[in-house]
Amino acid sequence: MIAILKPESRKEDIDNLIESLESNNVRVKPVNKSNSGALALIGDTKKIDTYRLEGSDIVEKIMHIKEPFKRSNRLVNPEDSIINVSGQTIGGKKIALIAGPCSVENEEQISSIAREVKNGGANFLRGGAFKPRTSPYTFQGLGTEGLELLKLARRQTGLPIVTELMSAKHIDKFVEDVDIIQVGSRNMQNFDLLKELGKIDKPILLKRGLSATIEEFLMAAEYVMAGGNEKVILCERGIRTFETYTRNTLDLSAIPAIKKLSHLPILVDPSHASGKAWMVDSLSKAAIVAGADGLIIEVHNNPEQAITDGHQSITPSSYKKLVGDLRVLAKAVGREI
Ligand code: PEP
Ligand code: MN
């Protein structure tokens, strides 16, 4: 719920109110950084005597947040969240560009792609070390060796690294090694994993589940945030529909919907959404114009030989050209690259 404060309230009285609410297990957060006119009350709010609060000298009125997602709700934080990641930001005016191969394959591959995507304008490097594969008989990723190669590519280029975590048993290692921990679509509702990620201080890139509604998606973010980790970055990566021409159906409407409902940044992954390299260009452009805060794109220096997802990976030169075009579009919609 949101407590709208009376404009003449004294700071001392507000502080006392916050203290008494917090002692009752309610987390209190000013709604606006620049304005202490409203407080978001989150957590165990059932015990709050709203009539007493509304009758007090400080509170003008109480507004209930009807949506089940609270911490991620825009009502709690009307300004866009900006997440700081190792010297870069995600959210706000600047568009975040994450690029790299589906899987880390070997040193030569990840180092050269890292160099090339950096040259093309990317500000983060992606690459899977632990891969969620449909078949247990296919390549499962290089595991911890893949993490070492990503760290090497980071040292060589300075690009922060984004990679997928599949099991809670690797959390400590990821916290130490990685800049952004990705939770893949298949784990969007792995609630135990999400709860564990709520306990750490590391940005989480949460991908939309294969068939998740927008509310389910935001509730997954809520699991992480409820534990205290508010650094959640959402990613629309296409959802399963009756259409089979594309790998998934990119839900562009999720971008304005999430922007309206939540303060969290929303990225788009046109590679997994379409499953087709030739569609990445137009879907990326559409996503930026629709208001996405960034893109995560699969780039491979030899897509035909890629171990995973070569069919949807674009080349470094196509990536560079795309970023050039996006720069113009970003400017047209008041953003920057
Ligand atoms: C990936 O980004 O490597 C990936 C497997 O994506 P998703 O979880 O969206 O399928
Ligand atoms: Mn992939």
Is the CB of 272 within 6 Å of ligand 1?
A: yes
* C-beta 141 within 6 A of ligand 1: no
Residue 314 has pLDDT above 60, yes or no: yes
pLDDT at 34 over 60: no
CA of 214 to the centre of ligand 1 (A): 18
- Ligand 1 atom closest to the Cα of residue 237 is 9
Closest atom, ligand 1, to C-alpha of 308: 3
What's the CA gap between 197 and 168, in Å, rounded?
8
More confident residue, 24 or 251: 251
Residue 121 scores a pLDDT above 70? yes
**Residue 184 CB–ligand 1 contact under 6 Å:** yes
The answer to whether the beta carbons of residues 309 and 102 sit under 8 Å apart is yes
Q: What is the pLDDT of residues 66-83, one digit of tens each?
A: 999 999 999 988 899 999
Backbone angles phi, psi at 275, to 5 degrees: 75, 10
Contact 325, 289 (CB under 8 A): no
Among all bound ligands, the one having the nearest atom to the CA of 132 is 1
Q: Per-residue pLDDT tens for 171-220?
A: 999 999 999 999 999 999 999 999 999 999 999 999 999 999 999 999 99
3-class DSSP state for residue 11? Answer: helix
Backbone angles phi, psi at 233, to 5 degrees: -115, 125
- The bound ligand whose nearest atom lies closest to the alpha carbon of 164 is 1
**Ligand 1: centre distance to CA 225 (Å):** 22
CA-proximal residue: ligand 1, atom 6 (nearest): 184
Work out the percent of the chain whose per-residue pLDDT is above 90: 81
The predicted structure's pLDDT at residue 33: 61
Dist. CA 165 → ligand 1 center (Å): 11
Query: 3-state class of 312 per DSSP?
Result: helix
311 contact partners, CB below 8 Å, separation of at least 6: 275, 276, 277, 303
What SS3 state is found at 214? helix
Query: Which of the pair, 14 or 159, is modelled with greater confidence?
Result: 159
* Nearest Cα to Cα of residue 139 among 267, 317, 306: 306
- Ligand 1 contacts CB of residue 146 (under 6 A): no
Proportion of the chain in helix, strand, coil states, percent, rounded to 5: 40, 20, 40
Q: Which ligand is nearest to the CA of 185?
A: 1
Atom of ligand 1 nearest to the CA of 238: 9
Ligand 1 atom with the smallest distance to the CA of 185 is 8
* pLDDT, tens digit (0-9, with 9 covering 90-100), for 220-268: 999 999 999 999 999 999 999 999 999 999 999 999 999 999 999 999 9
Mean pLDDT for the stretch of residues 90-109: 98
DSSP summary character for residue 262:
B
* CB of 292 sitting under 6 A from ligand 1: no
Q: Pinpoint the alpha helices (H) of the chain.
A: 11-22, 50-54, 107-120, 144-157, 171-177, 191-197, 214-226, 254-261, 270-274, 277-289, 316-332
Tokens, residue 107: 């040193």
Ligand 1 pocket, 208 CB below 6 A?
no
Which residue lies with its CA nearest to atom 8 of ligand 1? 184
From 182, 210, 297, 308, the mutation candidate for ligand 1 (largest count of ligand atoms within 8 A of CB) is 182
Cα–Cα distance for residue pair 208/224, rounded to 1 Å: 14
CA distance linking residue 96 with residue 62, whole number of Å: 37
Q: Cα dist. 202→12, 20, 217 in Å?
A: 34, 30, 19
CA distance 153 to 140: 20
Tell me the pTM. Answer: 0.94
